[in-house]
C-alpha cells in the first residue's frame, strides 16, 4: 500500500482564526496548585482575539488552565483572562482564552478594543 503525500495549498499553513499582533508586555501567570496559587512573571509576545503567546519560566502542561494578567498597550486597564495552554516549546507557551462566563466575555471585548487600537496585525 503506497502513501500519498498531499501538499497544502499556498498560504494554508498561515491560516488562523484571528490575526496576531506583536506585543512586548509584562505578564503574570497565575497557576493553581493543590495547596497554593503560584504567580510567575513573564512576557507577552503576541496577542490575538483568541489567545496570547507568552514566555514564562514555569513548567506548564498542554491542556492546563492558568490565568494571565497583563496591561495591554494603548490601554492602562489591566486584564486578567482565564486561559488554557495549547502548545509549548521550552518556556514559550501558546495560550487560548477561555470564554466560560460573562466576565470572560467582557475581558474578550476589552482585548478586541485594544487590538483595534493597535492597527495592522503581523504577517505571520
Q: What is the pLDDT of residue 63?
A: 97
Q: What is the pLDDT of residue 79?
A: 86
Q: Which residues of 44-65 are buried (b: 16+ CB within 10 A; e: fewer)?
A: bbbbbbbbbbbebeeebeeeee
Cα torsion angle, 92, 67, 85, 24, sign: negative
* Average pLDDT of the segment spanning 69-89: 86
Rounded Cα distance, 9 and 11, in Å: 6
Rounded Cα distance, 80 and 77, in Å: 10
| SS3 of residue 40 by DSSP | strand
Mean pLDDT taken over the chain? 82
Q: What is the pLDDT of residue 10?
A: 53
pTM for this prediction: 0.78
Instruction: Please say if the pLDDT value at position 122 is more than 70.
Output: no
Q: What is the pLDDT of residue 41?
A: 97
List, for residues 31-47, the tens digit of each pLDDT value: 998 999 999 999 999 98
Domain assignments of the chain as residue spans, ordered by start: 18-118
Give me the CATH code for the 18-118 domain, please.
2.40.10.220
Amino acid at each position: 500500500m503506497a502513501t500519498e503525500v498531499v501538499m497544502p495549498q499556498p498560504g494554508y499553513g498561515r491560516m488562523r482564526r484571528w490575526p496576531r499582533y506583536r506585543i512586548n508586555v509584562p505578564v503574570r501567570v497565575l497557576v493553581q496548585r493543590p495547596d497554593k496559587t503560584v504567580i510567575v512573571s513573564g512576557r507577552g509576545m503576541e496577542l490575538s482575539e483568541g489567545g496570547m503567546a507568552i514566555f514564562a519560566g514555569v513548567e506548564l502542561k498542554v491542556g492546563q488552565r492558568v490565568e494571565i494578567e497583563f496591561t495591554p498597550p494603548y490601554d492602562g486597564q489591566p486584564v486578567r483572562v482565564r486561559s488554557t495552554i495549547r502548545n509549548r516549546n521550552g518556556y514559550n507557551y501558546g495560550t487560548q482564552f477561555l470564554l466560560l462566563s460573562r466576565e470572560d466575555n467582557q475581558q474578550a471585548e476589552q482585548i478586541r478594543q485594544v487590538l483595534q487600537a493597535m492597527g495592522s496585525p503581523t504577517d505571520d
